[in-house]
Structure 1
Amino acid sequence: MNLVRKICAAFLSISLFIIAGCENTPESVADWKHAAVGLLDASISEDGRFAVIGSVNHGIGYWNLETNELLYEWRHNDNPEDGILASDISPDGSRVITADRQNFVIWSTVTGKPYGYWQAPAKIYSVAISRKGRYVLLGLQNGNAIHIDMTTGRRLVFTGHRDEAVSSVDLSANGEWAFTGSHDYRAILWNTRSGKPKYIFEHDSRVTQVALDRKGLQAFTSGTRGNAFVWDLTTGGQRSRLALKPREYVISAARFSPDGKWVATGAPGRDIILWSTQSGAKLKQWKAKTRNQWKPSGAIVYAIAFDAEGKHVITEASSGFGQKWAVLPLSQP
């Protein structure tokens, strides 16, 4: 859903001294190799069953994670510089949106064929797609966010951010509410029919990650200075602040559990953490796999999700590996 690769890469080096074999964290219950060299971007479906993988050497892959089967291979064009920078899977799993620097494509997950190719008016930083692919949301480098009705062609340009890149976006399943985070230190929840903001969440650093829960009752935001929050969308108030260390720390992926009790985050340095949305306490932590576990190396967690029952967390990392993690047992907050 978002473009945080450049920011994450800057923070990745702080973890290079850590050797995987010396870390005392729970093991994954399943590992899948999805790229030989590494990933440019990834997205995981809402039920954790499918993933979109933008790899360094092989374009875009659409994977069935239950069978670890590559279902489709896609490309925007033959230009190797136009690798995907952002992607999303619709909440019902019927569509995928992929975006390079200037263009986006909507694909059918049933046939594997594209519905069409479109060009954006500025560099694309982040994308989201609604149920059945009816609506698309683009976050652009020029500070605008564009909501598009793919059936009627109606476009609403949201200009509520202060001419700073819209680095992360999310969209309600019905496409009625857009959530955008920007380098202008703000995250904004706004109505896609009127273009009017409902809530503006101020931060003390650039906002690099936003996410909505499935029921539309909570929102997640995070910035570049170790600050991450869960917001109550019935009141607009802060529900909790995650217990991050007071240092430079970027979250590269976030997803709420199906029941809204937890939020899972991924970050540079291979961090995968499960948090309580009520208290902000850390409940469990894992480390993503690297290509060579015996050498100091790192990985950015690009995508994270829960399975349908909320019993497992699914991740895709820049190292080229997808992994599955058991939530239970939990640590005590």
Structure 2
Amino acid sequence: MRWYTVITTLFLLLLAGCGKDLKLSEGVVHQFEQEPLLVGQISDDGRLLLTVTVSEQVTVWRTASRQVEYQVPQEQLLKPVRHALLSKDNSLLLVANYDTLGIWSVSGRSFIHKVQFTGVDPMATISHIALSPNNGRALIAMTDGSLNMADLNTRLNNRFKPHSRPIDFLAFGKQGELFLTGAQDGKVGLWQFGSPKSLFEKEFAHRVTSLTTDQDFSRFFVSDGLGAQHIKTLVGGEEVVKLNYSARFKIFRQSQFIPNAPLLATSSSKSHLSLWNTGSGDELGTWTIATQREGATIMSMHATSAGKLYTLNSDAMLQSWDLNQLKAL
């Protein structure tokens, strides 16, 4: 039994080593801005791309043609720009400063309205935003751990305080009824919109540095700083697998489940992309992204059903990766 364990371990190590030697990158598709980005997002369907530069220029691009779809006029912006988000159907653009959320129509190229939000602590500022798939509900998280649940149709807002530290992660379910939160207090919670009662809560030893869900909203990946990285079921929070890697310290930032494949992509605080087997938790390899400036990091990822992964980094570089090569491992 011991020899079997040793052989299995050696095989997995060799497999990971083969992954690192694969040249998955297909190169930089395009660099959309010359300035560094404050915010970057690839749309859910990959057709559009959102950039917010350090000079606070908010632009929505057509990915294929690399042309501007819509650029928010400077006089309309809520400065300083802290957060920006494209809706899942690409029709709306949300931009927020410290305490106000603005909504623009991308297709209509026009400003719709703005709403001010507060936390339980009057000094709290907006820490994260999310929009439901049907665009009817918004989540506005605050640095004091409170959360605003705003119905954009009725203009009603319910506020409660699920965390004690800033909320950095929000994810809506497919129907916009359930949502997941993750914060610097190390807690992850599943909630029903409009209710302050959690469906489940998990507390980790360190602050949450990465949190994402799969397409079916049935599993989530969470990293609690330098502690441990888990894939868990979303309804009850049961353990599916824990990631395994040889590095003593590994920081996890962006993360993305790959559709139609047992794969998870993660990024680090440095210029690295890692891929994992979601069945075993084993690391398949880590690759260095293309950058223009030292310290550039991945800000957004988009995976296709054809086995392509696209990454957008803080240098505004869109890079393509061929995940089909991993099938050979």
User: TM-score, length-normalised on structure 2?
Assistant: 0.83
Task: Kindly indicate whether structure 1 or structure 2 has the higher relative contact order, using CA contacts under 8 Å at least 6 residues apart.
Answer: 1
Q: How does 1:268-283 map to 2 (within 5 A)?
A: 268-283=269-284
SS in 2 for 1:329: helix
The one-letter code of the counterpart of 1:319 is D
Partner residue in 1 for 2:121: none
Partner residue in 1 for 2:199: 198
Residue 149 of structure 1 pairs with residue 147 of structure 2? no
Partner residue in 1 for 2:94: 97
The one-letter code of the counterpart of 2:213 is L
Of the three residues 127, 131, 134, the one matched with 1:132 is 134
Of the three residues 31, 39, 49, the one matched with 2:47 is 49
8 A Cα contact 2:40 2:316, kept in partner: no
Partner residue in 2 for 1:87: 84
Partner residue in 2 for 1:3: none
CA distance in 1, matches of 2:26, 2:288: 9
Deviates more, 1:256-265 or 1:176-185: 256-265
CA distance in 1, matches of 2:291, 2:322: 19
In structure 1, the gaps of 5 or more residues are 1-22
CA distance in 2, matches of 1:28, 1:38: 22
The CA deviation at 1:107 is 2.3
Of the three residues 25, 28, 33, the one matched with 1:27 is 25
Residue 301 of structure 1 pairs with residue 298 of structure 2? yes
Partner residue in 2 for 1:16: none
**Structure 2 CA distance for partners of 1:107 and 1:277, relative to 1, 3 Å:** farther
The CA deviation at 1:144 is 0.7
SS in 2 for 1:132: coil
Deviates more, 1:240-249 or 1:322-331: 240-249
Deviates more, 1:88-97 or 1:173-182: 88-97
Q: How does 1:1-333 map to 2 (within 5 A)?
A: 25-57=23-55, 59-74=57-72, 77=75, 82-83=80-81, 85-121=82-118, 122-161=124-163, 163-225=164-226, 227-245=228-246, 247-259=248-260, 261-291=262-292, 297-307=294-304, 309-330=305-326
User: TM-score, length-normalised on structure 1?
Assistant: 0.82
SS in 1 for 2:90: coil
Query: CA-to-partner distance for each residue in 1:116-164, whole Å, 9 max, x for gaps?
Result: 1222213111111112311111221011122211001222223121x21
The one-letter code of the counterpart of 2:214 is D
The CA deviation at 1:234 is 4.2
8 A Cα contact 1:266 1:303, kept in partner: no
Deviates more, 1:225-234 or 1:61-70: 225-234
**Structure 2 CA distance for partners of 1:125 and 1:153, relative to 1, 3 Å:** same
CA distance in 2, matches of 1:262, 1:24: 16
**Structure 2 CA distance for partners of 1:274 and 1:107, relative to 1, 3 Å:** farther
The CA deviation at 1:93 is 2.6
The one-letter code of the counterpart of 1:312 is K
The CA deviation at 1:298 is 2.3
CA distance in 1, matches of 2:34, 2:263: 32
8 A Cα contact 1:227 1:244, kept in partner: no
8 A Cα contact 1:225 1:246, kept in partner: no
Query: CA-to-partner distance for each residue in 1:2-51, whole Å, 9 max, x for gaps?
Result: xxxxxxxxxxxxxxxxxxxxx98533344211221200011221222222
CA distance in 2, matches of 1:107, 1:78: 10
**Structure 2 CA distance for partners of 1:284 and 1:64, relative to 1, 3 Å:** farther
The CA deviation at 1:299 is 0.9
CA distance in 2, matches of 1:268, 1:331: 27
Identity rate, percent: 22
The one-letter code of the counterpart of 1:59 is Q
Q: Over aligned residues, Cα RMSD in angstroms?
A: 2.5
CA distance in 2, matches of 1:233, 1:118: 31
Runs of 4+ in 1 over 4 A off after TM superposition: 75-81, 244-248
SS in 1 for 2:134: helix
The one-letter code of the counterpart of 2:300 is A
CA distance in 1, matches of 2:79, 2:28: 32
The CA deviation at 1:247 is 4.4
Deviates more, 1:127-136 or 1:229-238: 229-238
8 A Cα contact 1:223 1:250, kept in partner: no
The one-letter code of the counterpart of 1:324 is S
**Structure 2 CA distance for partners of 1:87 and 1:280, relative to 1, 3 Å:** farther
CA distance in 2, matches of 1:115, 1:87: 15
CA distance in 2, matches of 1:302, 1:245: 25
